[in-house]
Structure 1
Amino acid sequence: MSAQAQPAPYDSQRAAELSELLGHVNACWDNERRSLSRQLHDSMGSSLTALTMHLGLLTQKMPPDPALLERATQMKNLLHNIIETNRQMQHRLWNDKLEFLGVRVALGELVTQFGEQHGLVASCSLPEEEPRSPRSHNVVLLRALEEGLRNIISHAQASAVEVTVDDNDDEIMLTVKDNGLGLAVQADVIGADSAKHGLRVLRERAAYLGGTLTLVPGSGGGAILTVTLPKPAP
């Protein structure tokens, strides 16, 4: 065996070790995000709700002074803004719908909210029944959809997005298709590296589960993001 061929087994072992480490780090990060989200809900959320109730009681007992009532209204509005910010932070850290309502609801509502928030035509085709896929697979699908939608609104300048989930006995596949600028133009807008890190991490997460993530130009323009994950044997 030549000296040049000797490093191959080491390189393969090293790549496998790095992949396993990345999978462990991602799992730990997901658990930490889930824990932080619940802390925000259980601790800060309940405290803010209690403050709102106390402020309402104080407002009822205050003298009818316009200046005091105006100040109380400002405080009430400020509390409502903090509560909404807290709710959004919880959602960005961890989507509880994924855990309590299933991946169908989590993906479907994310697409609907995205379309309403950004004024895009957003359609979503989902399986009739809840996919029988592990939690680890569902998390990757949700993160991939979040990253895909984030890139669309940040760089693609699209007016429509179509999301499809295909589920069968062997694998589950998520496809995100937009009618935006296309990959070549996006690369000029966002640079060669900055937009790729999120997708690279997701590609490694998919590979760790035995799957693939691809991003290719659409036949009529735009781009198509596809995540395919094999289902583990029962």
Structure 2
Amino acid sequence: MSANTDAAELRELLGYVNNCWDEERRALSRQMHDSLGSSLTALTMHLGLLTAKLPQEPALLDRAAQMKNLLHNIIEANRGMQHKLWNDKLEFLGLRVALGELVAQFGAEHLVKAHCSLPDDEPACPRAHRVVLLRAAEEGLRNVATHARASKVDVIVDDMEDSIALVVKDDGIGLRPPTVADGDWQEHHGLRMIRERAIFLGGSLLLAANGNQGAMLTVTLPKPPTS
């Protein structure tokens, strides 16, 4: 068996594992929403009713307020974990909404100018493509926050007739040679996984310098032929 055949089989296996992983994450996120989330909401309602019946003693009311605050924090933590497991906005509202909110939240959290340029219409591509593009944007922004020291980041989606491309570019300190484009993926495990997923779908991932300053991550995926 040739090395090329081995690599193709390993890539196919990795693509299958990633798809299974996505489905497991999606199912777990939905279970957390339907079961844990509804139970926590019910607890909050019961606590409100119970608080209304309590004697108006400061110590009791203070303890009830602490319990309400604790429940609120648990609900928010549960929502955050659900979102990390699977972004339901991608499923129900589409790639444009999911990316737009991701970039806006990133800018607010990291105090950088974050801009998202999206097509007017929702891209017509399979869910697997949308998942890879969203994961690529998440990983690209994570690297910007960790390494780039950037003051500005742009996320751009170019929806073409035969392919769709996502670009994440920043004005930070740039890449340390050798870059991922040169084949050094040892410190970029997240990007390596996205790269393998892109290749599995027939596409590519490139991380290169953004002119004289910053870095640019580009993921390009071919669209399957329409029947």
Q: Normalising by the residue count of structure 2, what TM-score does the alignment of the two structures yield?
A: 0.95
Partner of 1:151: 143
Determine whether 1:13 maps to 2:2: no
Distance in 1 of aligned mates of 2:172 and 2:178: 9
Match of 1:173 among 150, 165, 179: 165
Partner of 1:231: 223
Distance in 2 of aligned mates of 1:61 and 1:228: 60
Instruction: Indicate how the Cα distance of structure 1 residues 55 and 43 shifts in structure 2: closer, same or farther if over 3 A, else same.
Output: same
Partner of 2:101: 109
Shift of 1:210: 0.3
* Structure 1: gaps of 5 or more residues: 1-8
AA in 2 matched with 1:165: V
AA in 2 matched with 1:206: A
Which digits, 9 at most, give the CA deviation of each residue in 1:126-155, with x for residues without a partner? 000110010000000000000000011011
Partner of 2:201: 209
Counting matched residue pairs gives 222
Instruction: Indicate how the Cα distance of structure 1 residues 194 and 53 shifts in structure 2: closer, same or farther if over 3 A, else same.
Output: farther
Partner of 2:55: 63
Matches within 5 A, 1:11-160: 11-160=3-152
Identity among equivalent pairs (%): 66
Shift of 1:13: 1.2
* Structure number, greater radius of gyration: 1
**CA root-mean-square deviation:** 1.4
Contact 2:185/2:192, CA 8 A, preserved across alignment = no
Contact 1:164/1:174, CA 8 A, preserved across alignment = yes
Which digits, 9 at most, give the CA deviation of each residue in 1:75-105, with x for residues without a partner? 0000000000000000000000001001111
What SS does the aligned partner of 1:162 have? strand
Distance in 2 of aligned mates of 1:25 and 1:185: 31
* Structure 2: gaps of 5 or more residues: none
Q: Normalising by the residue count of structure 1, what TM-score does the alignment of the two structures yield?
A: 0.92
Distance in 1 of aligned mates of 2:52 and 2:194: 52
AA in 2 matched with 1:138: R
Partner of 1:219: 211
